[in-house]
Amino acid sequence: MQSPSHDDLGVTRCGSLDLRWGERTYVMGVVNVAPDSFSGDGLNDHEAAVAQGHRLVEEGADIIDVGGESTRPDFTPVTAEEEIRRVVPVVERLASELPVPVSIDTCKAAVAREAVAAGARMINDVWGLKRDPELASVAAESGAALVVTQNQRGAQFDDLLPELIADLNRSVEMALRSGVEWRNIIVDPGVGFGKTVRQNLEIVRRLSEMKCLGRPILLGTSRKSFIGFVLDLPVDQRLEGTSATVALGIANGADVVRVHDVGHMVRVVRMGDAVVRGWQGEDK
């Protein structure tokens, strides 16, 4: 299949937002409705989750990503019914109250279907359609944007980037076969999902190689364990480490960054874009 260049990725319509790839880096803010979230920001209360979504938009988030199941290595799986109970009321409120689109972070088609019906305009699948291929049909039927993530749990790559890219390409092909529009697919290398510290660092360093997929790149490094290992810091002290990976990610081709500390990262993104994409303000 002939892929367009990274300079010709089209425009992804995501609810009220046109994602015009290449013009700037978009910021996805995280709202976790999972009490065992690895980042320590999981919420049990729907009202608190809605309030957090509003706060992240005030801080500059372009997209709000709502998740109801932890993705930490030792997480306790939840049923689709429980996940729906956690996330759908939050998605419904945020979709009706916020000026930015809402994304649903799930690997279950049943959850995605309910969330899209409640107003979600993006599906963020951390298993890249490998756990539940029916997710692609939900995206195709609804017109929602679809993030496919490379998840290495249960597998081991010998040649990291080529094998990671090939695996992501398989996810993209699955989405296309199910009818998802090319312009609606976003790829994520899956930092932290079964990778070692060195592999995660290598992904950030070599992110530009993923441009061969011809799709926008989402990078999620926020507060992740590899930052803690490098800096020997707990999850609540990884702001500077996250900032470094976000800045380097932008320099290497990231189009969206998924973050917890939105206010801080919006500044990092703005500065990174000024250097990488060019300063659009008045020269002094």
Is 93 a known active-site residue? Answer: no
Is 211 a known active-site residue? Answer: no
Range list of H helices, 59-151: 80-97, 109-117, 134-142
Between strands 102-105 and 145-149, the pairing is unpaired
Out of 85, 258, 270, 277, pick the active-site residue: 258
C-beta neighbour count of 1 within 10 angstroms = 8
Query: What angle (nearest 5°) sits at the alpha carbon of residue 61, between those of residues 16 and 201?
Result: 120
Query: Rounded to an integer, what distance in angstroms lies between the CA atom of residue 108 and that of residue 130?
Result: 10
Give the three-class secondary structure for 38: coil
CA distance readout (Å), 188 to 59, 210, 224, 277: 24, 9, 15, 21
Q: What is the CA radius of gyration of the chain?
A: 17
Q: Within 13 Å, how many C-alpha atoms sit on residue 190's CB side? A: 25
Give the three-class secondary structure for 148: strand
Out of 24, 121, 224, 238, pick the active-site residue: 224
Q: Which residues are catalytic?
A: 224, 258
